[in-house]
Structures are given as structure tokens and as C-alpha cells.
């Protein structure tokens, strides 16, 4: 131990945020799209006429469903309506700057024709690689691609939840080789991949592989310099995940914000992070029933604003159907988010935590490297007066509304560096953005 730090061989490789261009690009994305697509998209949460309430992509594991019947879905996987260009166009219109695609979820079914298993799209009636057209179409639309990969693989007989016997350990050694082969294969086949989004890494068998995972991470980073890997990939030698024994973030960004968003900047400890979010409560793969509370466009926009205001990216999940089409509800959310982004994107892309005291009317963001502050207004007070506290010796030189530059505001300075922006109306129906150009007082 050094001071109160423990010396670790497989802990974090770095303290503080990455400072390179690839990570700066990731940080500036603001908005992303997540895609969960696989065999589970065919039943869509229903089996033999029964609706299962759990997450649709987990249906193979629910009681009453035989594994072999589920695995036979491969013979029915034929997404004839799949159109990579149309998917990419919808994401582009929404304003997504990156997409995270499930190459393989927990069931082990691969959307690319992996050489290392026959449980892939190549064995389905569709036959063709699905990852390549997606990577090409998204890249063509100016959207970066990150590959989702589940380490846990229910289709592989060598997968173990824990290693308790000699046999387990022999099987898991084979599984590690298989995992490495598949990951290197993906990076080889899709060289424009910007990052890997790992999942299914919580079981003991994997958590015990600190040395292997560390070495593999180094190998992948060498192969694709700039590659972005989050905190879910590997544990340290004491089995600590996300943060090592010394509390340092493992990987390039914190991957712990799944369907939840921090409330304060202190909760993210100065780290990069992304929040992945479902439209219904907890459904990632296509769920035909689409029950429970379905988030609205304004709710999702508020989540996006909150994430960016606290230095994170917001990644909205889509669960295409087994036939390759995207459900109309998701398409219309994407369109509405895109319509808002078309006017207000300036307050999202390349923006960060503004360092200002939070106010109840909404969220502040700041354009990285500038003095431009954005007020993303979600709750208009009945008084119509929006409070702004700037750092000492800073004043507002210009205030105007995004999309309506002619609508300017004359801030009322209440006291030094504290002002009211007075809205002309309090009957706004949707969130909007006010730009504050600020300057140091001389």
C-alpha cells in the first residue's frame, strides 16, 4: 500500500479523464441511439399466447420457455423489411451522433457471421451480415458506431456463472479464448468501430478474470488506437467493478447510469459517463405489448438536457421488430426529438456542465471552450422570471432564444452577477432554449 492507496496490477490505467481527440469527440456527442435487436425481437415478449412482463430480450431465461425452442428461433430469423439506410436516416434526423448496436446479446446470437460459432445470422434464413450494412449506413450518415457485446453467452456450453470445479475452469478457459476471438474478429471486420459497449460482465466467472480482461483490453486498444471502452468490461484483482479498489474509474467512462440520471455534478466525480434509457420502463428488445408508462418526447428531451448539463451523453434505446422494421411509436418519438434538435442542437452538441447554481426552471449547458451559456427551459414559473446566477464579475452581454434570434431579452440585474430573464409569455407548451452570451466585467 502507498499512502492509503493499495497497489494494484489490474486496476484503473489512468486517473482523470482521457484527453485525446477520440474521447473529445465522444464527449461532444450529447445524443446517441441504442439498438437492441436479435432473436428475441421475433417473440417480442410473447410466447405461446402468453405475455411475459420481464424485459423482452430476456425471454429465453423465463420459466416455461424451453431453451431449445428459443434457440430454434434462428430458423425463423428473416428480417425482410430490414433497411440499414432507413434506420440510419431516422437516427440522423433524431440528431444522434452515435449508435450502440447489439452485435450479440445474452442469448449469444450473433448479428454478424462469426467464424467461431454457428449461432449467427449466417445460419438463419436471412444469411447475410447485419452489422456491416449498419456500420456503413450509419457512418455514411455521419454517425459513429459503437458495438455492444455481451460477455455472458447463454448459447455457449462453456459459459459459466461461476468457477467452482476443475471442469468449470477448463470450460471457462475455452470460453475466454472464444470471447477474445470474437472481439478481435469484430474489430477486424468493422475497422471504423469507435468503441465497445460491454454488458453481461457481472457474474463471478468473469469477475475473476482480471488479468485476462486487462490484457485483452490492452490488446484491443493497441489494435484500434482511440477505442473507447466503458467501466463494465473488467474488474480489478479484488473483483471490484466500475471503480477499482482505490475508487478509480475502470475504463474510459462510467457505464453505471442505466435508466437513471444523476441529480448533481458531484455524483459523477468528474468522470465521463453515458445514460442508456428505455422508452417503456425496462424493455430493450422489441416488446409487442408496449405496456406501462411510455415516456413522452418532452420527458426524453428533459433527460437529454439533464445528462448534458451534468457532463454526460444520453443514449435512447430502440427495439426493432423481428422483421427488421422499427415500430411507429419509436419512429414518431425520433422524429419529434429530431424536430426539437433541429432548432436547439446548439445547446446539446459540444456542450458541458456550465458550473452554475442549478435553477428550478431547467438546465444550464455551456459550449465547451466558449463563454456561451444555454438555458434549457422545461418548467416556466408563473412569474415568467428565470433566475440566473453567473460567476462573480461576469455579465450577460446578449440573451436570445434559439430558433427565434429576433426574440431577445434584456436581463434585469437583481444584484451583482444575479439576474432575471423575463419571459414575454408563460404559456409555452414545449421546452425551449435561451442563449446567454456572457463576458467578464471590466
The residue ranges that bind ligand FHN (CB under 6 A) are 36, 55, 57-58, 199, 258, 276, 284
Nearest approach in angstroms of CB 292 to ligand FHN is 16
Smallest distance from ligand FHN to CB 275, Å: 10
**Between 103 and 438, whose beta carbon lies closer to ligand FHN?**
103
- Annotate 242-301 with three-state secondary structure: CECCCCCECCCCEEEEECCCCCCHHHHCCCCEEEEECCCCCCCCCCCCCCCCCCCHHHHH
CB of 199 to ligand FHN, least distance (A): 5
Name the residue nearer to ligand FHN (CB basis): 52 or 58: 58
Cell numbers describing residue 399: 440573451
Parallel, antiparallel or unpaired: strands 351-352 and 394-401 = unpaired
Q: Which is nearer to ligand FHN, 198 or 340 (CB)?
A: 198
- Residues present in the chain in total: 442
CB nearer to ligand FHN: give 55 or 279: 55
Considering the complex, state which of residue 253 and residue 284 has its C-beta at the smaller distance from ligand FHN: 284
- Cα separations in angstroms, 349 against 305, 314, 331: 11, 11, 22
| Cα 303 from Cα 7, distance rounded (Å) | 38
Shortest Cβ distance from residue 242 to ligand FHN (Å)?
Answer: 12
Residue number with CB closer to ligand FHN (46 or 258): 258
Q: Nearer to ligand FHN by C-beta: 57 or 217?
A: 57
Q: In the complex, what is the shortest distance from the CB of residue 169 to ligand FHN, in angstroms, rounded to a whole number?
A: 25
User: Are residues 98 and 35 in contact, defined by beta-carbon separation less than 8 angstroms?
Assistant: no
Nearer to ligand FHN, 83 or 258 (CB): 258
Dist CA 298 CA 429 (whole Å): 10
Kindly provide the residue ranges of all beta strands, DSSP E only, lying in 347-441, ordered along the sequence.
351-352, 362-367, 372-377, 385-389, 394-401, 404-408, 412-415, 418-422, 432-440
Tell me how far apart the alpha carbons of residues 55 and 59 are, in angstroms, rounded to a whole number.
Answer: 7
Cα 280 from Cα 291, distance rounded (Å): 7
Q: In this structure, what C-alpha cell is assigned to residue 212? A: 485476462
Q: Smallest distance from the beta carbon of 290 to ligand FHN, in angstroms? A: 17
CB 355 within 8 A of CB 342: no
Q: Is the distance from CB of 150 to CB of 200 less than 8 angstroms?
A: yes
Q: How far is the CB of 107 from ligand FHN (least distance, A)?
A: 10
Amino acid at each position: 500500500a502507498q499512502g492509503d492507496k493499495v497497489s494494484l496490477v489490474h486496476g484503473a490505467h489512468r486517473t482523470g479523464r482521457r484527453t485525446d481527440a477520440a474521447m473529445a469527440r465522444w464527449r461532444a456527442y450529447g445524443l446517441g441511439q441504442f439498438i437492441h435487436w436479435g432473436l428475441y425481437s421475433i417473440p417480442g415478449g410473447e410466447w405461446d399466447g402468453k405475455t411475459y412482463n420481464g424485459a423482452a430480450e430476456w425471454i429465453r431465461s423465463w420459466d416455461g420457455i424451453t431453451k431449445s425452442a428459443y434457440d430454434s428461433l434462428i430458423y425463423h430469423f428473416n428480417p425482410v423489411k430490414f433497411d440499414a439506410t432507413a434506420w440510419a436516416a431516422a437516427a440522423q434526423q433524431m440528431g444522434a451522433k452515435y449508435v450502440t448496436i447489439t452485435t450479440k446479446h445474452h442469448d449469444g446470437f450473433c448479428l454478424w457471421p462469426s467464424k467461431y460459432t454457428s449461432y449467427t445470422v449466417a445460419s438463419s434464413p436471412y444469411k447475410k451480415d447485419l452489422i456491416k450494412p449498419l456500420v456503413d449506413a450509419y457512418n455514411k450518415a455521419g454517425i459513429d458506431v459503437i458495438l455492444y457485446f455481451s460477455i455472458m453467452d447463454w448459447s455457449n456450453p462453456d459459459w459459466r456463472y461461476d468457477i467452482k470445479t476443475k471442469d468449470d475452469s477448463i470450460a471457462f478457459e475455452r470460453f475466454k479464448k472464444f470471447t477474445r476471438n470474437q472481439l478481435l474478429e469484430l474489430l477486424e471486420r468493422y475497422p471504423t468501430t469507435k468503441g465497445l459497449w460491454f454488458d453481461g460482465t457481472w457474474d463471478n466467472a468473469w469477475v475473476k478474470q482480471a488479468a485476462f480482461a486487462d490484457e485483452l483490453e490492452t490488446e484491443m486498444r493497441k489494435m484500434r488506437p482511440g477505442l473507447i471502452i466503458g467501466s463494465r468490461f473488467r474488474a480489478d484483482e479484488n473483483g471490484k467493478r466500475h471503480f477499482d479498489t482505490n475508487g478509480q474509474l475502470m475504463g474510459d467512462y462510467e457505464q453505471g447510469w442505466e435508466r437513471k440520471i444523476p441529480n448533481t455534478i458531484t455524483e459523477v466525480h468528474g468522470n465521463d459517463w453515458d445514460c442508456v434509457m428505455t422508452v417503456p420502463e425496462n424493455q430493450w428488445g422489441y416488446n409487442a405489448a408496449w405496456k406501462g408508462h411510455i415516456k413522452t418526447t418532452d420527458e426524453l428531451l428533459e433527460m437529454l438536457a439533464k445528462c448534458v448539463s451534468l457532463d454526460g451523453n444520453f443514449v435512447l434505446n430502440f427495439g426493432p421488430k423481428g422483421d427488421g422494421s422499427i415500430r411507429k411509436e419509436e419512429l414518431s418519438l425520433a422524429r419529434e426529438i429530431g424536430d426539437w434538435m433541429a432548432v436547439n442542437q446548439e445547446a446539446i452538441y459540444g456542450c458541458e456542465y456550465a458550473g452554475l447554481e442549478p435553477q428550478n426552471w431547467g438546465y444550464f449547458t455551456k459550449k465547451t471552450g466558449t463563454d456561451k451559456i444555454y438555458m434549457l427551459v422545461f418548467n416556466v414559473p408563473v412569474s415568467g422570471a428565470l433566475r440566473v446566477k453567473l460567476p462573480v464579475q461576469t455579465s450577460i452581454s446578449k440573451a436570445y432564444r434559439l430558433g427565434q434570434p429576433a426574440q431577445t431579452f434584456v436581463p434585469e440585474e437583481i444584484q451583482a452577477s444575479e439576474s432575471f430573464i423575463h419571459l414575454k409569455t408563460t404559456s409555452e407548451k414545449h421546452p425551449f432554449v435561451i442563449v446567454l452570451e456572457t463576458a467578464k466585467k471590466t
